[in-house]
Amino acid sequence: MSDVVLDVQNLCVEFPTRKGLLTAVDGISLQIQRGEILGMVGESGAGKSMTGMSILGLLEPPGRIAAGSIHLSGDRIDDLDDRAMQAVRGRRIGAIFQDPLTSLNPLFRVGDQLVETIRLHTDLDKPAARERARELMREVGIPAVEERIDSYPHQFSGGMRQRIVIALALCAEPELIVADEPTTALDVSIQAQITALLKRLCRERGTAVMLVTHDMGVIAETADRVAVMYAGRLAEIGAVDDVVRRPQHPYTKGLMGSIPSLRTDVEELQMIPGSMPRLNAIPPGCAFNPRCAHAGPRCREEVPRIARGDITGAACWLAQAGTTLTPGEAA
């Protein structure tokens, strides 16, 4: 058996709209190994959540997978029907979303929701499931579990709700966890608890994790590899140290430059000029070319891609030519 838990090949997601077809994800290929955390970063609207939703089989119509394949530990899952996919989702893939309210039912006590999910995916009886629910709540750092187990979701703070969602995702001990900005609204100490929890799951249970986040600090301390998305495409992928310290793609460079520093003071943060193109107005060639200081004629005609099967690389003509990038240089 190979160690590849998630294998996404040439994934394309499109939305038919009144004004034609929008391609939200355009030919993404990536793999996650057993026990590995792949970080996903990129411009807001770049297609990170769509990629995650495709893997979970939760794309909302009219959105649809237009091409490509998704395999989970060797089993193809992108062509399963709704019922089969629902079983995979609960048992084999756990989901943690940015908005905890999408995963919690406001009308039920959190303890009951946990017990129900545990019983759906395991054969524990009610008292055992309740004990397991307590354990999971403790594991994700809910204080005074006895007092809070019968509370309703709205009685928790944003961060505590998210921890309940994580407990829900862990109920069935899945092979893969897709975590879409799980720590976005959490303070640093809870964030550290949750990333430590994810890391422990990877190490101890061999869980593979796709971690979508905007927080580069979290990526640097949690992920093994990182994928950078821009306008529906993969801009760069590689080992976390390489991407953070020696980014190859001009967009990744810009991204790293705009992070507020803990050491130096600046009046204005560095910005990448302009904004990401609308999905219906992606320029020909490299999607980043209107904002890129290095853009040359080839960039405006041909789409640069990371060769399929490559585990590191940058979708950039200049980087692929082996040139080191310095600002202002034109290809």
Partner 1 sequence: MTLRNNAILEVDALERRFDVSAPWLNRLIERKPRKTLRAVDGVDFVIQRGQTLALVGESGCGKSTIAKLVTGLHSPSGGSIRFHGDRDRLQMIFQDPFASLNPRWRVARIIAEPLRTLSPDTPEAEVSARVDELLRTVGLAPADGLKFPHEFSGGQRQRISIARALAGDPEFLVCDEPTSALDVSVQAQVLNLMKRLQKKMDLTYLFISHDLSVVRHMADVIAVMYLGRIVEIQPTADLFANPLHPYTGLLLETIPNLEAPKRDRSPMVGEVPSPVSPPSGCSFHPRCPRAFDRCKTERPQRSAKVHNRRVACFAAEQGAPDVQ
Scored b (16 or more CB within 10 A) or e, 89-126 reads bbbbbbbbbbebeebbeeeebbbbbbbbbbbebeebee
Residue 165 buriedness (CB in 10 A; 0-12 / 13-18 / 19+): buried
Q: Which residue is nearest to Mg ion (CB)?
A: 49
CA distance 260 to 243: 18
Distance, in Å, from the CA atom of 213 to the CA atom of 42, rounded to the nearest integer, reads: 9
- The single residue among 79, 131, 150, 301 that binds partner 1, judged by CB under 8 A, is 150
Interaction mask 280-299, ligand SF4, x per CB under 6 A: ------x-xx--x-xx---x
Q: Does 148 bind partner 1 (CB under 8 A)?
A: yes
Among residues 32, 46, 172, 255, the one that binds ligand ATP under rule CB under 6 A: 46
Shortest Cβ 36–ligand ATP spacing (Å): 21
Q: Which is nearer to partner 1, 160 or 201 (CB)?
A: 160
Selection from partner 1, ligand SF4, ligand ATP, none that 260 binds (CB < 5 to 8 A by kind) is partner 1
Minimum distance from CB of 288 to ligand SF4 (Å)?
A: 4
Contact segment (CB under 6 A) with ligand ATP among 46-54, 73-81, 110-118, 288-296 equals 46-54
Q: Which of 278, 297, 310, 329 binds partner 1 (CB under 8 A)?
A: 278
Q: Are 222 and 197 in contact (CB under 8 A)?
A: no
Q: Which of 235, 279, 292, 318 binds ligand ATP (CB under 6 A)?
A: 279
Work out which of 10, 86, 105, 155 binds partner 1, going by CB under 8 A: 155
Chosen residue from 250, 255, 276, 279 binding ligand SF4 by CB under 6 A = 250
Q: Is 313 in the site for ligand SF4 (CB under 6 A)?
A: no
**One of 318, 322, 327, 329 touching ligand SF4 (CB under 6 A):** 318
User: Does residue 252 bind ligand SF4 (CB under 6 A)?
Assistant: no
| Residues in 200-239 that interact with partner 1 by CB under 8 A | 214-218, 220-222
304 binds, among ligand SF4, Mg ion, ligand ATP, none (CB under 5 to 8 A by kind): ligand SF4
Q: Residue numbers of the site for ligand ATP (CB under 6 A)?
A: 15, 17, 22, 24, 42, 44-50, 63, 154-159, 185, 187, 279
Q: Residue numbers of the site for partner 1 (CB under 8 A)?
A: 41-46, 49, 98-99, 101-102, 141, 143-144, 147-148, 150-151, 155-160, 181, 184-193, 195-196, 214-218, 220-222, 244, 254-256, 258-263, 266-272, 275, 278
